[in-house]
């Protein structure tokens, strides 16, 4: 049985930065772009790369395959630009998941631009947003996710969503609760909300105690099609998350305190009002990640280092130089050369 937690009601010190084209300051509650998918009804890849993505093709790997029916891809690690056949009206699709968004912020920072500038470039080229996810990281916790789940089970939530789901885990060996995830809506709907305990996820991922991670909830707003398009337009217009937080979260979800009146007249819980109030003041926070192709390097470290060391030790003992010969004789494929170019290049040289 889950323990009931009273959520903290104090203001968490959200920092408001009203200066245009500057990054919001990282505080206990930060908001980030977490996923983007935007399509363009054109086959001019060069135009999209130069005027929307602002990355030079010379540094991008080209693959003769893609996803979602696209036939080819230009990409720098997790930043992907798919293109279709000339007779396919799908045109071009730009896609960035979480890590791709962080990497793209490196190039935004290099160009002294923001996400709002990128959204505006997309609109200027008739881009159609089919997916836009926003993530709120809460490292002090306005509430616990299990607490929200208990309120849902008690009927203390008013929502336009027809479906609510949740999952959790329990560590038998340690006799401790695992992380709880709470979903509102359907993955097929235009708006889908996910609340989960990020500290538990990170602890499991890196095999650490959750106490070492500290307090950390994540709240994700996953928007599709019309909802994604309108959210992008409003982020350009207001340059903060007021529209998304109040028009998406507040209009779809309201936690209330039960009383003797009809449910529709129950008062909004104080912790929820405090949370929404602070979210409405946030600007997008950018957290650039300058490391690229970490997956390849990590694979080399995990999978190949012992074998490399074994050959090195053999060479040291025998006086041979098999390892250096292997390296000298190896031929770099085009994708390896592109990866090396990105590693060695200055970010200023990669943007346009």
H helix intervals, the chain: 45-48, 98-110, 115-124, 145-153, 198-206, 210-213, 225-238, 242-243, 251-252, 270-279, 294-299, 305-318, 322-329, 334-344, 347-350
Q: Which residue has the higher pLDDT, 274 or 345?
A: 274
3-state secondary structure of 192: strand
Is the pLDDT confidence value at 25 over 70? no
> In this structure, are residues 330 and 90 in contact, taking their beta carbons and an 8 Å threshold?
no
CA dist 196 to 24, 44, 276, 330, Å? 23, 40, 17, 46
CA 78 to chain centroid, in Å, comes to 11
Name the residue ranges covered by the structural domains of the chain.
Answer: 1-292, 294-350
Q: What is the mean pLDDT of the chain?
A: 84
CA distance 84 to 67: 10
> In this structure, are residues 282 and 245 in contact, taking their beta carbons and an 8 Å threshold?
yes
What percent of the chain has pLDDT above 90?
49
pLDDT of the residue at 71: 96
Other CB atoms within 10 Å distance of the CB of residue 50:
14
Q: Which residue has the higher pLDDT, 311 or 34?
A: 34
pLDDT of the residue at 2: 39
pLDDT of the residue at 28: 82
CA distance 119 to 130: 13
CA distance 38 to 138: 27
pLDDT of the residue at 1: 37
Residue range 49-57: mean pLDDT, rounded: 97
Burial class from Cβ neighbours inside 10 Å (0-12, 13-18, 19+) for residue 42 reads: middle
User: How do residues 78-108 score in pLDDT, each as one tens digit?
Assistant: 999 999 999 999 999 999 999 999 999 999 9
Q: What's the predicted TM-score (pTM) here?
A: 0.77
CA 174 to chain centroid, in Å, comes to 31
> In this structure, are residues 276 and 246 in contact, taking their beta carbons and an 8 Å threshold?
yes
Confidence tier at 278 by pLDDT (50, 70, 90): confident
Radius of gyration of the chain (CA): 24
CA dist 49 to 1, 72, 121, 194, Å? 53, 14, 11, 32
Rounded to 5 degrees, φ, ψ at 117 are -65, -40
CA distance 332 to 329: 10
pLDDT of the residue at 235: 86
User: How do residues 107-160 score in pLDDT, each as one tens digit?
Assistant: 999 999 999 999 999 999 999 999 999 988 999 899 999 999 999 999 999 998
59: CB partners within 8 A, 6+ apart: 76, 338, 341, 342, 345, 350
DSSP label at residue 26: P
Give me the DSSP letters along 296-323: HHHHIIIIIHHHHHHHHHHHHHH---HH
CB crowding 112-143: b at 16 or more within 10 Å, else e: ebbbbebbbbbbebebbbbbbbbbbbbbebbb
- Residues constituting the chain: 352
3-state secondary structure of 114: coil
């Amino acid at each position: 049985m889950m323990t009931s937690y009273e959520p903290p009601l104090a203001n968490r010190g959200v920092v408001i930065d009203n200066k245009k084209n500057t990054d919001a300051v990282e505080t206990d509650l930060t908001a980030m772009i977490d996923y983007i998918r935007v399509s363009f009804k054109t086959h001019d890849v060069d135009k999209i790369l130069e005027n929307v993505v602002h990355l030079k093709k010379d540094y991008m790997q080209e693959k003769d395959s893609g996803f979602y029916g696209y036939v080819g891809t230009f990409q720098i690690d997790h930043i992907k630009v798919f293109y279709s056949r000339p007779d396919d009206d799908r045109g071009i699709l730009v896609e960035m998941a979480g890590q791709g968004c962080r990497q793209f912020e490196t190039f935004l920072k290099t160009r002294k631009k923001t996400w709002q500038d990128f959204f505006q470039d997309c609109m200027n080229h008739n881009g159609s947003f089919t997916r836009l996810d926003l993530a709120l990281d809460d490292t002090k916790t306005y509430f616990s996710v299990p607490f929200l789940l208990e309120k849902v089970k008690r009927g203390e939530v008013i929502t336009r969503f027809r479906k609510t789901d949740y999952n959790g885990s329990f560590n038998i060996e340690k006799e401790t609760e695992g992380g709880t995830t709470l979903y509102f809506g359907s993955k097929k709907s235009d708006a889908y909300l996910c609340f989960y305990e990020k500290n538990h996820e990170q602890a499991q991922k890196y095999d650490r105690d959750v106490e070492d991670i500290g307090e950390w909830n994540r709240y994700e707003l996953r928007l599709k099609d019309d909802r994604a398009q309108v959210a992008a337009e409003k982020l350009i217009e207001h340059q903060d998350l007021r529209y998304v937080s109040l028009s998406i979260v507040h209009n779809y979800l309201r936690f209330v305190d039960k009383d003797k009146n009809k449910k529709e007249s129950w008062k909004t819980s104080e912790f929820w009002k405090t949370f929404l109030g602070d979210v409405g003041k946030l600007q997008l926070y950018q957290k650039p990640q300058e490391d690229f192709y970490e997956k390849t390097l990590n694979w080399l470290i995990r999978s190949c280092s012992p074998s490399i060391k074994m050959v090195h030790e053999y060479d040291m003992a025998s006086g041979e130089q098999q390892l250096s010969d292997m390296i000298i004789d190896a031929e770099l494929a085009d994708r390896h050369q592109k990866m090396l170019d990105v590693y060695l290049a200055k970010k200023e040289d990669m943007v346009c």
